[in-house]
Amino acid sequence: MIELENVGLAYGNGPDILQNVYLHIGRGDLRFLTGASGSGKSTLLRLLFLALQPHQGMARVLGKDVASHTPQSRARLRRKLGVVFQDFRLLDHLTIFENVELPLRAAGGEPGKHTNDVNDLLDWVGLKERARDFPNTLSGGEKQRVAIARAVVTKPELILADEPTGNVDPAMAKRLLRLFLELNRLGTTVLFATHDKHLIERSGGQVIHLMPGGRLSQ
């Protein structure tokens, strides 16, 4: 699913953010990525969702080298990845329904064609009644649930979550974690970056620790 071999990554001519990173995550795994602020967690996730390329080593996601993509093949591979961010990244001018439907439209689906799928997902995250509302009327936890629904609407093989509980209270964090655990039980591979040790202890997933200087310990 994810294979990193001796990966090094830097922004421009700056210092290495990731150094000699080796990582193997298999199909159906659940892994937590931890590390201090600035240790490179977000950079590692950006590499895995194909926004960056390593200057050293080899990085394969879903069996394909991240450096070998064309814009088209990168877009097609991203449809098999679900990405969730701490800051939600919802589009405020679209309704909640349209936000969740967006990946399907981007994949060439007609608007309104997958209504049942979208409604089922909104039901799953407990927001079916808010489908017509706009994101700016939601709380942080509700926004993150919409973002999770959007991430999984294309039934991705791998979910990359970058501090998804960072902007919500502990109760909501637990509720969000349950959604990820449920997805993992259904066979989706999940890589979940977080600072929250209690959350990790509650889940029982394996931890990957990113140390300052961008080295991994598993």
Partner 1 sequence: MTTASKLNPSPIFPNAAAHLRSLAMTMAVMCYLAGLAVVSLLIVQHTARAWAEGLSHEATVQLQHLSNVDEEQELTKALALIKSTRGVISAAALDKSAGAKLLEPWLGKGVTDDLPIPRLIRIAIDEHNPPDFAQLEATLTAKVKGVSLDTHRRWQAQLSRMGTSLVFLASLILALITLASVILVSYTARGVIAANTAIIEVLELVGAEPRFISRQNDKQFFTTGLFAGVIGMFASLLTCAAVYYGGGFTDGSAMDLGAMFNFENFGERVIAGLALVPLLATLIAVWVSRLTLLQHLKKNS
Q: Considering the rule CB under 8 A, would residue 31 count as an interface residue with partner 1?
A: no
CB atoms near residue 197 (< 10 Å): 11
Amino acid sitting at position 160: L
Give me the least distance between CB of 132 and partner 1, in Å please: 6
| Polymer length of the chain | 218
The SS3 assignment for 190 reads strand
DSSP string, 61-74: ETTEEGGG--HHHH
Answer for which of 4, 40, 42, 49 binds partner 1 (CB under 8 A) is 49
Task: Extract the tokens encoding 33.
Answer: 């990525």
| Residue 174 binds to partner 1 (criterion: CB under 8 A) | no
CB-nearer residue toward partner 1: 76 or 185: 76
For residue 28, the 8-state DSSP code is T
Only one of the segments 12-20, 105-113, 182-190, 193-201 lies at the binding site for partner 1 (rule: CB under 8 A); that segment is 105-113
Interface with partner 1, residue 112, by CB under 8 A: yes
* Position 94 contacts partner 1 (CB under 8 A): yes
CA distance 162 to 7: 20
The contact set with partner 1 (CB under 8 A) reads 49, 71-72, 74-79, 81, 83, 89-91, 93-95, 97-98, 101-103, 105-108, 111-112, 115, 119, 131-132, 150, 154
